[in-house]
Amino acid sequence: MSDIETIMRTAPVIPVIVVDDIDHAVPLARALVAGGLKVLEVTLRTPAALDAIKAMKSVDGAIVGAGTVTNSTQLQQAIDAGSEFIVSPGLTEPLGKAAVASGVPFLPGIANAGDIMRGLDLGLNHFKFFPAMASGGLPALKALAAPFGQCKFCPTGGIGLDTAPQWLAFDPVLCVGGSWVSPKGAPDPAMIQALAHEAASLGR
């Protein structure tokens, strides 16, 4: 994968994945990829996350990255585990500089104009709008995007199958992040593949 825009354009929905049990990682990844969602964001919210990233990398066609990366130590751990991209809930200068220096495709979280300007200062113009619904929803992103025409977004947080099409219809939005396609617990591959297929067909 060459850059974050290529990754964001791969599918309309990026699954936001929480893995509690490493045995769930590969079946979940296989079902999501089979359903058409190849970009997988594994959040670093559980002790199993880094091992899950390593395991999911074995799934043919999967593009596996780390989410909930909040500092440069986690960034390095995620890269060492084989992450092909990095997603953070917010943007600090130390994390941003470390991510840029690493060369890994990086999608930092933003919620206001100051966050975007901090990102632009670091040479970044692709952002995760988070938490999307709690930060004012689509009207807020439209207002934020207006002065920053060079920026592209992946809204995440409170978005579901019913609201995703409205977000995807807004030109600066390349994809959305969602946890509804990867329910917690032991994966039901047939159900997850069906959810993924439904999500992959959005925005077409």
Contact 181, 195 (CB under 8 A): yes
- Write out the two tokens for 191: 């159900």
Of 112, 123, 118, residue with least CA distance to 3: 123
Dihedral over Cα of 107, 108, 111, 114: its sign: negative
Spatial strand order in the sheet of 176-178: 106-107, 86-87, 63-67, 39-43, 13-17, 176-178
Within 8 A by CB and 6+ apart from 150, the residues are 120, 125
**Pairing label, strands 63-67, 126-129:** unpaired
Q: Is 142 an active-site residue? A: no
Q: Which of 38, 57, 128, 152 is catalytic?
A: 128
Q: Which of 41, 57, 84, 152 is catalytic?
A: 41
Q: Is 41 an active-site residue? A: yes
Contact 118, 91 (CB under 8 A): yes
Question: 136's torsion region: left (phi>0), alpha (psi -120 to 50) or beta?
Answer: left
**Pairing label, strands 106-107, 86-87:** parallel
Residues found in the chain: 204
Residues taking part in catalysis: 41, 128
